[in-house]
């Protein structure tokens, strides 16, 4: 089945540690996105990538890093510089970054800093 997979579903991190969230898609989509969602709020864009080996910062990129070495993979690293990393993280992909395309979302990773 084609789709977008995020892992793990739940992740616990100690303060001061970096952690990497996985996002894989087998939809052959060029564009991929990372969003953060806090309780009772909408989604805010962290990073997006329109093509392999290229990515751009979104509205809240500070304290995060990404890579796009393969078309199907767009991992997100939450660094120790992120002051409030506890949140629900969502990855999405779309066939292109054009406006007439729908986005497909993963089931999310809930990160908790302990």
Partner 1 sequence: DAKTTQPNSMESNEEEPVHLPCNHSTISGTDYIHWYRQLPSQGPEYVIHGLTSNVNNRMASLAIAEDRKSSTLILHRATLRDAAVYYCILNTGNQFYFGTGTSLTVIP
Which residues contact partner 1 by CB under 8 A?
A: 33, 35, 40-45, 48, 50, 56, 58-59, 88, 90, 92, 97-108, 110
Give the C-alpha separation, 25 to 62, whole Å: 25
Least distance to partner 1, CB of residue 80, Å? 26
9 preceded by a cis bond (ω within 30 of 0): no
Choice between 17 and 38, CB closer to partner 1: 38
For partner 1, give the closer residue by CB, 15 or 54: 54
Pairing of strands 109-113, 43-51: unpaired
CB of 113 to partner 1, least distance (A): 18
């Amino acid at each position: 089945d084609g789709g977008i997979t995020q892992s793990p579903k739940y992740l616990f991190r100690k303060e001061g540690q970096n952690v990497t969230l996985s996002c894989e898609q087998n939809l052959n989509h060029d564009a991929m996105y990372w969003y953060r969602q806090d309780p009772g709020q909408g989604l805010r864009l962290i990073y997006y990538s329109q093509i392999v080996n290229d990515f751009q910062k979104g509205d809240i990129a500070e304290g995060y890093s990404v890579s796009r070495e393969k078309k199907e993979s767009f991992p997100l690293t939450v660094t120790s510089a992120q002051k409030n990393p506890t949140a629900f993280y969502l990855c999405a992909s779309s066939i292109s970054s054009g406006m007439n395309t729908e986005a497909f979302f993963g089931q999310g990773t809930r990160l908790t800093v302990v």
